[in-house]
Structure 1
C-alpha cells in the first residue's frame, strides 16, 4: 500500500490512523533517509495508542518507553555498529512483549526482526515537491493482517 503525505501533520495523521488499531505485540519497522518523517509518523502512532508524552527519537539511548493504551517501545538503531549489540539491552524481551515496538532504521538489524511485522518505508518525492512523502506499507506475516481493513 502506498500513501502520499504533503505535510508533517498528514504524516502524523496517517500514523494516528494506524496507531488507533494496533494490538498487543505489534512490531512496526520504519525506514527512510534522514529527515523523511520517521519520527513524525511515530508521533502519530503514539497518539493513536493514547500516549500524551512528547515523542523524541531515542538516537543516543536506543529505546524510549511510553505508557498508553499499550506500552510503547520506540527504538532508533541508526547508531548501531553491530546489529547484535542491541541484543544486550534485551531487544527480544521488548519485541516479544505485550507492548508495541517501533523500530526506526530497522533495516540495520534486519536479521533480528520478527517474521510478523509492519514494514514502512518513507521517502521524499521530489517530483511532487520538497514536502511530499511517499509512504509504502507492507504487512509481513499474518499477525498484523487486521490492519488491512484500516489501510
Structure 2
C-alpha cells in the first residue's frame, strides 16, 4: 500500500485536489471517501467530477444514494451511503450494475455498504485539522498505487 498525506487549507484546495486526481484516474476505478460530516467529501467529488468533463452542478446524493454522470468516455457514479439503513437496500437498487469496466465509482460512507461493495482501488480519508483539513490518500491496488505515486 502506498499513501500520502496532504493539508488542504480551504474549500478551493479541496476542489483543486479533485482536479489533480482527474489527471490520473481512469475506468474502471472504485474510490472510497471517508471522514466526518462536513470534512469535504462532496467538495472533493465535485472537483473531480467537473474536471472529468461534467459541466453542470454536482449535488450530494445523500437522499438519492447515487448520482450518475454520463461523460464522453466513461460513466461516473457518485454514491453517498450516509442515510443507508441496511446494506441490503443496495441489492434492491442493483448496486452491482454500477461497477463496470467503463465506470469510476466514488463512494462516500462506504462502511455503510459493507459486504456489498467491491474493494476500493483508492481510499481517501478527510479529517479536520483545526480550521483546515488533512487528507490521506491510499492506493490499495496497482491502479490506486499508480495514482498515489503521481500525486506525490
- TM-score of the aligned structures, taking structure 2 as reference length: 0.89
SS in 1 for 2:107: strand
1:68 aligns with 2:67: no
1:104 aligns with 2:108: yes
Unpaired runs of at least 5, structure 1: none
| Cα offset, 1:97, TM superposition | 4.1
Q: Which residue of 1 aligns with 2:46?
A: 43
| Cα offset, 1:96, TM superposition | 3.1
- Is the Cα contact below 8 Å between 1:83 and 1:108 reproduced in 2? yes
Aligned partners of 1:110 and 1:143: how far apart in 2? 22
Aligned partners of 1:134 and 1:124: how far apart in 2? 6
Aligned partners of 1:87 and 1:97: how far apart in 2? 20
Q: Which residue of 1 aligns with 2:37?
A: 34
Q: Which residue of 2 aligns with 1:137?
A: 137
Unpaired runs of at least 5, structure 2: none
Aligned partners of 1:41 and 1:116: how far apart in 2? 17
Q: Which residue of 2 aligns with 1:120?
A: 124
Paired residues, what number? 147
| Cα offset, 1:147, TM superposition | 0.8
Aligned partners of 1:139 and 1:83: how far apart in 2? 25
Greater than 3 Å deviation, 4+ residue runs: none
SS in 1 for 2:92: helix
- TM-score of the aligned structures, taking structure 1 as reference length: 0.90
Over aligned residues, Cα RMSD in angstroms?
1.4
| Cα offset, 1:54, TM superposition | 0.5
- Is the Cα contact below 8 Å between 2:31 and 2:120 reproduced in 1? no
My pick for the range that moved more, 3-12 or 102-111, is 102-111
